[in-house]
Amino acid sequence: MAKANQKAQMARQFTHLLLELRDELRRHLQQKFRENNVSLTYEMHQVMVCLWTKDGIRQQDLADKTLKDKTSLTYLIDNLNKRGLVTRMEDKKDRRSKLIFLTNKGRELGKIAEPWLEELYKLASIKVTITEMEESMKIIQKMIDNVKTG
Amino acid sequence: MAKANQKAQMARQFTHLLLELRDELRRHLQQKFRENNVSLTYEMHQVMVCLWTKDGIRQQDLADKTLKDKTSLTYLIDNLNKRGLVTRMEDKKDRRSKLIFLTNKGRELGKIAEPWLEELYKLASIKVTITEMEESMKIIQKMIDNVKTG
DNA sequence: AAAAATTAGTTGGTTGTTTAACTATCTGTG
DNA sequence: CACAGATAGTTAAACAACCAACTAATTTTT
């Protein structure tokens, strides 16, 4: 099974490269925030992106969307709350849940930061076609499914 | 520039999927360690993989190879040291550096854990060809370069 | 309707990451 | 040689991730 080993080896390099891209995106964005005196970490921004799309959703939903633990969300929302960007409200329909809403400040930040994100991802996809990305995504999805069901 | 926006949107989905794969690999490996009563985190294992290939290297080299900060390495090596897997030795040639060596226990662990890693990456690459991975890696590399030089 | 199982969120503890400031050592240029 | 700058590693503090155990509320089972 020399071929399987070679493939496994390549899969290792592949995941290493994934980390590199993630780190690069992270670094770029953090720097943008710092330059503009926006006190927002990469993790907080991930949560804010969800909320800019639609707020008034549960912490667990945010956890699912950001691929984070619900414990992390408790913590992150505390920190976003401290910064005056979000508020917690008890869900009247299900009193176990808490709904997270943007404050005005949080919404205003979105108007500033969303263009930066657009810009970053446009930059990242220069000289890469939609088809290429689609093909890659199929492969990555296959790998995810392999590990999940394995 | 509707097309550029569409591409940026896809780049977002793309990076989200990358994170999902990384998380899945991480989860799978952590579980394997736990099942076998190996007290090793994903981060520690990243360092150990480097050392199993070649030990007696500097902390900074380990930082570069694992894409981590040298501060994280100080911390990680402390923890690996506590677990009796590695030792620090001053480099006689350059007294600023410290060389990290595997202990016998650390080396033995490699013999147990390396097959698990092989297995995991073989699993991940089922029904994915080398060519496909190479193509994906080219695209990811292009994106990394875009962001780096941007 | 009562008991059991599930779900949402919090808390505590350990581990990891990042920035900035710091010490010690080495290197290169004048 | 001297000294400015670079490099290796550490420390402290803030932020984040993950697990286990917990509370409270809801849903399912019996």
Q: Convert the pLDDT of each residue in B42-74 to its tens digit.
A: 999 999 999 999 999 999 999 999 999 999 999
Burial of A19 (0-12, 13-18, 19+ CB in 10 A): middle
Q: Do B7 and A128 touch (CB under 8 A)?
A: yes
- Residue A1 pLDDT level (bands cut at 50, 70, 90): low
CA–CA min distance A130, chain B (Å): 6
Pairing of strands B98-102, B86-90: antiparallel
Q: Where are the alpha helices (DSSP H) in B1-129?
A: 2-35, 42-53, 59-66, 70-82, 104-124
What's the confidence (pLDDT) of residue B61? 97
Task: Indicate whether this model's pTM tops 0.85.
Answer: yes
In A, minimum Cα distance to B141 occurs at A17
What's the confidence (pLDDT) of residue B141? 96
Q: Which nucleotide is nearest to A75 (CA to C1')?
A: D16
d(Cα B82, Cα B85) in Å, to the nearest integer? 8
Which letter does DSSP use for residue B93 in this model? S
Residue B1 has pLDDT above 70, yes or no: no
What's the confidence (pLDDT) of residue B88? 96
3-state secondary structure of B92: coil
Encoded tokens for A83:
């910064």
Of B58 and B149, more confident: B58
* Segment B117-129 mean pLDDT: 95
Q: Is the CB of A148 under 7 A from strand D?
A: no
Which letter does DSSP use for residue B126 in this model? T
Q: What are phi and psi of B74, to 5 degrees?
A: -50, -50
Residue A66 has pLDDT above 70, yes or no: yes
d(Cα B10, Cα A111) in Å, to the nearest integer? 21
**The tokens 């964005």 sit on which residue?**
A29
Q: A42-53 and A2-35 are packed helices; what angle lies between their axes, rounded to 10 degrees?
A: 80
* Segment A113-120 mean pLDDT: 96
Residue B39 has pLDDT above 80, yes or no: yes
d(Cα B97, Cα A100) in Å, to the nearest integer? 48
Q: B104-124 and A2-35 are packed helices; what angle lies between their axes, rounded to 10 degrees?
A: 90
Comparing CB atoms, the residue among A12, A67, A132 nearest residue B139 is A132
Q: What mean pLDDT value characterizes chain A?
A: 95
Positions of chain C reached by protein Cβ under 7 A: 7-13, 15-20, 24-27
Burial of A36 (0-12, 13-18, 19+ CB in 10 A): exposed
3-state secondary structure of A57: strand
